[in-house]
């Protein structure tokens, strides 16, 4: 018995030793692969003067990712949410509610670039992917909340206590779990599943928040109001109904098509258009589709700020349809107006007014498919009468617009008759997001090759994180200017929670269970653990500023706090840069 027992112990020790050796060998191979890594466009020998050029390309990749999200990815998600909202089954309608949809499927729209950047980086052995997620967490918490607080027209921002408390607690949980996962530098399969399971727990809590709040506060649930955005109005002497549908990465979760305006309302900057308006002079308000804007920066709804209504797409069948679809686009978002004109004679008059009073030199397309033709006319509109700077800026946008419209025009769900193809639009947008994320990581690698002091991990935490999150910051500013900063803050916190639970964990699960053969993923990106510490510190700062009544009431943020948050973010950049360039030692954890 003693001999067999010693043999069993020896076999167990040999097995354990073999696991350690295999793990060390795998680490050495990965480090050797990184040392021998070649630049995509040549050798790893630095080229003087070339490194700065790559920053222009990586900025263009950020724009392409944002364009795919806003033009195709989020609209496909919105169609799915609308189908859930209009489902005859009560359980499915619950998933179509703003809060639940924003925490689940809409989170993919907000976190799409980060998710695909992390996923692609796992298969390309780049350190930038995980840094993008960590860096965007800090950017969202400090910059987005800081900008929303500073741009709040009311001066003092009052937080919604229940969602704020819930999101802060789950964000704290995500930081703790992420720190535990990265403590030893390896991501095991059960750790990745634990993070993904926490996402399910978060969604469940969002699903039952309203019910629990009503029970705790001992008050009945609010009766669901009729939020039908269609409102009757008179335009050019035509009785119409107008229904708005917004497409925006930040606006989708909290600002669906519930709007309170008609063409007679002036608080949104919209007035009735006379039948025979006077000719416009230089600097006058622009006129489009019978609506006159009081100034070029007027707001058509509670979210979107239109500096230039550059494209009008009209889809109508004069003999079969009673509805006319109008789409307006600008640099950041788009809005669709579904105008129903029951009377055929009024419909013809309305179409005539659209054609007559459209933007001068703008695009007017009366057809079903406004694909590449619309992009070409849009470019022409940009180039005519514009400065050389605007001409230079318009061409890159034109290129990506033609690429996307020529490949996804058959599944463009922004066209009402194609909304049934939303799964294909979703898959196509995912493909282009993955492609542009791969190009972003390739360009980051080129920057590292030509400027070796800028590591991939540092580029991911700073440059890539800011680039992928900057559109969210712009959208939050627009929301704050419309006196909805609380929605922007709630969306920023919710996106941060799902950034860890989805954008971080889901690629890890795919990689470990699919590509590595259940082997742990080695998370060796420099600066990530320090970033997790900064995530915890910034959350504590936010909670302290919101809870402690210093010159204010609890659960309020004044504009001075917004300035402070921006200052803290610059301190984070200085700290990360100082550790990179060796001005002070990097802490060891």
Q: Are 313 and 289 in contact, with CB atoms under 8 Å apart?
A: no
First to last CA, the chain: 46
Going by the DSSP 8-state scheme, the letter that residue 515 receives in this structure is: I
Handedness of CA 574, 580, 581, 587 (dihedral sign): positive
Crossing angle of the two packed helices 74-85 and 105-124, in degrees rounded to 10: 140
Distances (CA, A) of 309 to 287, 301, 332: 9, 14, 11
Pairing of strands 291-293, 287-288: antiparallel
Q: Closest by alpha carbon to 286, among 265, 270, 302, 275?
A: 270
Stated as kind and residue range, the H or E segment containing 299 is none
What the block records as the tokens of 210 is 């309203």
Q: Going by C-beta distance under 8 Å and a sequence separation of 6 or more, which residues neighbour residue 512?
A: 187, 188, 189, 192, 518, 519, 520, 521
Stated as kind and residue range, the H or E segment containing 79 is helix 74-85
Distances (CA, A) of 399 to 248, 392, 406, 425, 430: 21, 12, 11, 20, 19
Handedness of CA 139, 74, 441, 55 (dihedral sign): negative
Residue 242: how many CA atoms within 13 Å on its side-chain side?
25
Q: Are 504 and 192 in contact, with CB atoms under 8 Å apart?
A: no
Measured at the CA of 18, the angle between CA 14 and CA 20, to 5 degrees, comes to 120
Q: Going by C-beta distance under 8 Å and a sequence separation of 6 or more, which residues neighbour residue 380?
A: 361
Residue 503: how many CA atoms within 13 Å on its side-chain side?
33
Q: Where are the domains of the chain?
A: 233-269+286-387
What the block records as the tokens of 27 is 């680490």
- 233-269+286-387: what fold? PH-domain like (2.30.29)
Q: Going by C-beta distance under 8 Å and a sequence separation of 6 or more, which residues neighbour residue 426?
A: 73, 76, 77, 80
Residue 363: how many CA atoms within 13 Å on its side-chain side?
27
Q: By CB neighbour count within 10 A (0-12 exposed, 13-18 middle, 19+ buried), where does 516 fall?
A: middle
Tens digit of pLDDT at every position of the chain (589 positions): 445 445 555 565 455 445 444 544 444 444 444 434 445 555 455 555 566 778 888 888 888 887 887 788 878 877 887 788 777 887 777 776 666 666 666 666 677 788 888 888 888 877 777 888 888 889 988 988 888 888 777 677 777 788 888 889 999 999 999 999 988 888 899 999 999 999 889 988 888 877 777 776 654 443 333 333 333 332 333 333 444 333 333 333 333 332 222 332 222 222 233 323 333 343 333 323 333 333 323 323 322 222 233 333 344 433 333 344 444 443 334 444 444 555 555 555 555 554 444 433 333 333 222 233 344 444 445 444 455 555 566 677 778 888 888 888 888 887 777 888 888 988 898 888 888 888 888 888 888 777 777 777 778 888 888 887 876 676 667 666 656 666 667 777 888 888 888 888 999 999 998 877 788 888 876 677 888 889 999 999 998 888 876 555 667 788 888 889 999 999 998 888 787 777 777 666 5
Tell me how far apart the alpha carbons of residues 172 and 585 are, in angstroms, rounded to a whole number: 27
Tell me how far apart the alpha carbons of residues 359 and 370 are, in angstroms, rounded to a whole number: 17
Tell me how far apart the alpha carbons of residues 436 and 316 are, in angstroms, rounded to a whole number: 34
Q: By CB neighbour count within 10 A (0-12 exposed, 13-18 middle, 19+ buried), where does 66 fall?
A: buried
Q: Are 290 and 357 in contact, with CB atoms under 8 Å apart?
A: yes
**Is residue 89 helix, strand or coil?**
coil
């Amino acid at each position: 018995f003693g001999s067999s027992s010693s043999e069993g112990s020896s076999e167990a020790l040999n097995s354990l030793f073999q696991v350690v050796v295999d793990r060390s060998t795998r680490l050495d191979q990965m480090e050797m692969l990184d040392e021998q890594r070649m630049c995509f466009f040549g050798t790893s020998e630095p080229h003087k003067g070339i490194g700065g050029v790559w920053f222009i390309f990586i900025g263009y990749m950020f724009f392409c990712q944002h364009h795919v999200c806003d033009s195709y990815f989020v609209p496909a998600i919105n169609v799915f949410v609308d189908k859930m909202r209009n489902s005859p089954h009560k359980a499915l309608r619950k998933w179509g509610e703003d809060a639940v949809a924003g925490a689940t499927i809409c989170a993919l729209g907000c976190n799409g670039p980060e998710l695909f950047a992390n996923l692609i980086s796992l298969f390309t052995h780049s350190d930038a992917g995980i840094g993008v997620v960590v860096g965007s967490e800090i950017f969202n918490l400090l910059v987005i909340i800081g900008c929303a607080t500073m741009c709040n027209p009311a001066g003092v921002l009052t937080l919604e206590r229940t969602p704020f408390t819930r999101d802060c607690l789950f964000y704290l949980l995500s930081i703790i779990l992420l720190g535990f996962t990265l403590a030893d530098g390896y991501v095991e399969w059960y750790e990745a599943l634990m993070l993904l399971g926490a996402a399910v727990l978060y969604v469940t809590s969002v699903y039952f928040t309203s019910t629990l709040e009503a029970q705790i506060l001992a008050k009945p649930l609010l009766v669901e109001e009729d939020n039908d955005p269609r409102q009757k109005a008179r335009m050019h002497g035509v009785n119409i109904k107008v229904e708005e549908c917004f497409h925006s990465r930040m606006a989708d979760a909290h600002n669906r098509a519930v709007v309170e305006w008609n063409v007679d309302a002036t608080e949104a900057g919209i007035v009735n258009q006379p039948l025979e308006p006077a000719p416009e002079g230089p600097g006058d308000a622009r006129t489009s589709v019978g609506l006159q804007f009081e100034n070029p920066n007027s707001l058509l709804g509670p979210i979107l700020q239109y500096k230039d209504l550059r494209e009008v797409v009209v889809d109508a069948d004069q003999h079969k349809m009673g509805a006319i679809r109008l789409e307006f686009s600008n640099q950041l978002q788009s809005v669709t107006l579904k105008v129903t004109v029951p009377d055929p004679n009024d419909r013809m008059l309305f179409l005539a007014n659209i054609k007559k009073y459209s933007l001068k030199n703008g695009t007017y397309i009366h057809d079903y498919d406004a694909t590449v033709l619309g992009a070409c006319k849009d470019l022409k509109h940009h180039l005519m009468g514009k400065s050389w700077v605007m001409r230079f800026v318009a061409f890159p946008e034109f290129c990506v617009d033609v690429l996307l419209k020529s490949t996804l025009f058959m599944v463009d769900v922004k066209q009402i008759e194609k909304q049934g193809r939303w799964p294909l639009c979703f898959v196509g947008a995912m493909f282009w997001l993955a492609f542009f994320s791969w190009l972003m990581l390739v360009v980051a690698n080129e920057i590292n090759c030509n400027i070796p002091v800028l590591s991939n991990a540092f580029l991911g935490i700073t440059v890539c994180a800011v680039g992928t999150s900057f559109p969210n910051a712009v959208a939050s500013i627009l929301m704050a200017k419309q006196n909805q900063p609380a929605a922007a803050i709630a969306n920023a916190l919710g996106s941060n929670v799902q950034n860890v639970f989805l954008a971080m964990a889901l690629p890890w699960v795919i990689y470990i269970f699919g590509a590595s053969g259940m082997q742990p993923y080695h998370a060796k990106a420099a600066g990530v653990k320090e970033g997790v510490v900064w995530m915890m510190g910034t959350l504590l700062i936010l909670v302290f500023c919101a809870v402690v009544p210093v010159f204010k009431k609890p659960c309020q943020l004044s504009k001075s706090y917004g300035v402070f948050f921006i200052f803290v973010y610059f301190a984070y950049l200085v700290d990360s840069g100082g550790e990179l360039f060796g001005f002070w030692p990097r802490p060891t954890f």
